[in-house]
Amino acid sequence: MPKIEIYYSQLCGACHDAMDYFKGRGIPFESYEVKWREGDWADDDNGRRFKARFGTADFVPQMMIGDRHIKGWKELSALIESGEIDHMLQA
């Protein structure tokens, strides 16, 4: 199974939907809380990691499944609905 990383904000409902999806299926993932401050991600370890991985992305969740970047809950939910997520998780 590929490594899964989720960058989320505590107040983001879509972020929690994404994490709940993986939790509900018993799929392990790493999560990193990022904080938005004054028009940019906080200058802490998670904020710097977020910017290094996703550049100027200004919304969460941002996810990595293996080497594939998933941009938000809408993209993840489309992968779930199409069944493509199952193929990605088997890789």
The 10s digit of each residue's pLDDT in 41-89 is 999 999 999 999 999 999 999 999 999 999 999 999 999 999 999 999 9
Say what the pLDDT of residue 82 is: 97
Considering only CA atoms, which of 53, 83, 46, 50 is closest in space to residue 67?
53
Please check whether residue 54 is in contact with residue 7, taking contact to mean a CB–CB distance below 8 angstroms: yes
Domain boundaries, the chain: 4-90
Q: What pLDDT score does 56 carry?
A: 93
The token duo for 57 is: 């992305």
Residue-wise pLDDT tens digits, 25-40: 999 999 999 999 888 9
DSSP 25: T
Domain 4-90: CATH architecture, name and number where available: 3-Layer(aba) Sandwich (3.40)
Query: Among 27, 7, 30, 32, which Cα is nearest to 89's?
Result: 27
* pLDDT score at 38: 86
Cα–Cα–Cα angle for 26, 19, 6, nearest 5°?
110
